[in-house]
């Protein structure tokens, strides 16, 4: 008997999730449209809608004035059901934003800082409060935070090789959770930039690509089969080590190029930067046969680099990848943090209501 009762409950859950996903994919949407999109009967869609309405995950809404509605009721996801905090804890400062369950950014802020790791974390706690107030979001509705850091992050959350002194001391995730009051996911900043590019940037719809970030530091992230590849130790894409043992300096970061280019022309700087970037792209493209490499960061994210970098790749590789500059600019890491947090929050909110 227990199994017989479990089957209808499971089917209800599956139907409700299918209806919720269809509403999130494109709204406002009517009951009839939901039935067509999901392949679920109208009576079953109605039952699913009733449950989702009662649990506060969807709400009735009006249709755009220029669309015929024929008296139908339309639905959209309830954006205030939960909120996500995204953080880019960069070497030069802190960027943070809060988005709602519909994915809309409700508040954002930036704090330039060269302070110690501990002081940055303390500042982030205050930033959380101001963002919640600006977003008109109840602190109890904040579901989680995703924090991008310039460091290697293992599957267990251990931090190493950080560009911010002191960030590796102690349990960083626990320190953040104490200050922010919600579960925290730690992730390498370039990995999040790649997720941002895949979600709403130039890599949308591309299953295999690399994101190469060149700015205050140098790093890369690899997406294979639509999934972020972290490696056994979370260190996939650490390009700083690619040319270890070489006598020549191949670092294309801002500081290295500025030192190298003292007294040289702007075009010389551009060409040398492009050559150094290409030298780091070659191992990725050659070993993984990638169709796309996205360049980003304060140095790498420049359209003027595409032609000279591409020229070197054409010369050095039998199958050079397509190059593109990140369309997200300085917001790439933060965009990825919000996207990752939103996915996890949607799962958590739905699972929580199922268990209740």
Answer whether 81-192+334-355 and 202-327 agree in fold: yes
CATH 1.10.10.10 correct for 2-77: yes
Please give the CATH architecture assigned to the domain spanning 81-192+334-355.
2-Layer Sandwich (3.30)
DSSP 217: S
Residue 98: helix, strand or coil by DSSP?
Answer: strand
Q: What is the pLDDT along the chain (356 residues), one digit of tens a residue?
A: 444 445 478 888 899 999 999 998 888 899 999 999 999 999 999 999 999 999 889 999 876 655 555 668 899 989 999 999 999 998 778 999 999 988 899 999 998 876 778 888 888 888 999 999 999 999 999 999 999 999 889 888 888 888 888 888 888 999 999 999 999 999 999 999 999 999 999 999 999 999 999 987 789 999 999 999 998 888 888 887 777 777 677 788 765 666 666 667 788 888 989 999 999 999 999 999 999 999 999 889 999 999 999 999 999 999 999 999 999 998 999 999 999 999 899 888 877 765 55
Residue 350: helix, strand or coil by DSSP?
Answer: helix
Among 155, 216, 141, 149, which Cα is nearest to 176's? 149
- CB distance 194 to 230 below 8 Å: no
Q: How many CB atoms lie within 10 A of CB 290?
A: 21
Q: Whole-angstrom Cα distance, residue 90 to residue 93?
A: 5
CATH 3.40.1280.10 correct for 202-327: no
130: left (phi over 0), alpha (psi -120 to 50) or beta: alpha
| Domain residue ranges in the chain | 2-77, 81-192+334-355, 202-327
- CB distance 239 to 245 below 8 Å: no
- Report the DSSP pairing between strands 83-90 and 93-100: antiparallel
């Amino acid at each position: 008997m227990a199994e017989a009762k479990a089957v209808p409950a499971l089917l209800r859950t599956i139907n409700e999730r299918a209806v919720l996903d269809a509403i999130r994919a494109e709204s406002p949407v009517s009951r009839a449209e939901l039935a067509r999109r999901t392949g679920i009967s109208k009576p079953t869609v109605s039952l699913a809608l009733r449950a989702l309405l009662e649990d506060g995950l969807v709400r009735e809404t009006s249709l755009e004035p220029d669309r015929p509605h024929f008296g139908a009721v339309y639905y959209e996801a309830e954006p205030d059901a939960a909120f996500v905090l995204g953080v880019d804890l960069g070497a030069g400062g802190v960027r943070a934003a809060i988005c709602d369950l519909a994915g809309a950014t409700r508040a954002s802020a930036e704090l330039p800082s060269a302070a110690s790791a501990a002081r940055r974390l303390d500042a982030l706690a205050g930033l959380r409060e101001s963002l919640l107030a600006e977003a008109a979001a109840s602190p109890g509705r904040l579901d989680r935070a995703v924090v991008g850091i310039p460091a290697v992050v293992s599957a267990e959350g251990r931090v190493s090789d950080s560009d911010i002194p002191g960030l590796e001391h102690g349990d960083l995730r626990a320190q953040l959770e104490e200050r922010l009051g919600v579960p925290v996911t730690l992730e390498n900043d370039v990995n999040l930039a790649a997720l941002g590019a895949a979600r709403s940037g130039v890599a949308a719809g591309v299953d295999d690509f690399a994101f190469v970030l060149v700015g205050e530091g140098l790093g890369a992230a690899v997406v294979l089969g639509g999934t972020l590849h972290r490696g056994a130790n979370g260190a996939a894409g650490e390009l700083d080590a690619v040319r270890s043992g070489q006598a020549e300096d191949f670092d294309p970061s801002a500081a290295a190029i500025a030192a190298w280019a003292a007294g040289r022309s702007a075009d010389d700087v551009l060409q040398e930067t492009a050559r150094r970037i290409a030298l780091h792209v070659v191992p990725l493209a050659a070993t993984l046969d990638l169709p796309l490499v996205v360049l980003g960061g304060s140095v790498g994210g420049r359209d003027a680099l595409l032609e000279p970098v591409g020229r070197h790749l054409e010369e050095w590789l039998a199958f050079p990848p397509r190059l593109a500059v990140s369309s997200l600019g300085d917001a790439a890491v933060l965009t990825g943090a919000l996207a990752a947090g939103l996915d996890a929050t949607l799962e958590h909110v739905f699972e929580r209501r199922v268990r209740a």
